[in-house]
Structure 1
Amino acid sequence: IACVSVHGANRLGGNSLLDLVVFGRAAGLHLQESIAEQGALRDASESDVEASLDRLNRWNNNRNGEDPVAIRKALQECMQHNFSVFREGDAMAKGLEQLKVIRERLKNARLDDTSSEFNTQRVECLELDNLMETAYATAVSANFRTESRGAHSRFDFPG
């Protein structure tokens, strides 16, 4: 079975430096090629700017919304209980449903600080938004993997 890791089928915890060096270099070289092929970057359109500002300010008016700290904790618990190293299909299906609910909760998060300068709470909400999308992609991918490989084991598909 082919494996795309520099470590083979398994990586020891805390041994990520080699991945960072190898794949970071590969990503940088690919980006350099892509930019050279694309040529000059286009200016941001009005709709690009509006979309970015909408994302940045979307929590400003949720005065009765939920504390983002509670949402982050729910996300962490969901991922730990349903998508850790040892996985099982029923738990992952349950976890995916939980993630959908948590994703909706995030849309209604509350910012206590809506200032536009040095707003660490806004940064934390944006980070949580990115974390949510990464967690969801990880969960969907894990659910599709119906095998045990390396350090990621499925109880319902033993290797």
Structure 2
Amino acid sequence: MNPAILNFNEHGVRIAFDANNEPLFCLADVCGVLGIKNQNPKRFNLDAGGLHKMSSPTTSGVQSLTFISEENLYRIIFRSNKKEALNFQDWVFKDVLPTIRKTGSYSARQTAYEELNRLCMQEKVSKDKGTFHSLGMHRRKHEKHLNAVRIETCKANLQIAFEGLHHD
């Protein structure tokens, strides 16, 4: 199995899909993103039905890794008080849930598209600023790298979303 990789805060999270085309997330990667050192699934009181052992290629060869369901992913994130988890919680509580309450749905594809447009515009503005201010070139170089990472992440998210549509 070759899982897709989703980039979050410059960390890769391997994602696979179960027989029902539901996403599964690599537990080790999720813990890495959240800064959690103890990756034992028992410590999180996860739903056993949402734990899956899968063989996956790694830098050390093919290994058996634990993948978790979306529900278990939320259990880990919402129980954590780490900054990384709180950022995700803020997004869910301040953006996703209010949008669902107000409109009845949340379109990740539209949000990703809007984010991609915003980042491309931010990149263009940053480029123009760097052109006019030579002292800002170091900052511009750093912004350019960050924008490139963000744009590639948005593109990957859109691709994953549209691949999911194609399989429906």
TM above 0.5, yes or no, is: no
Which structure shows the higher helix fraction?
2
Greater relative CO, 1 or 2 (CA 8 Å, sep 6+)? 1
TM-score (norm 1): 0.37
Which structure shows the higher strand fraction?
2
Flag the structure with larger Rg: 1
TM-score (norm 2): 0.35
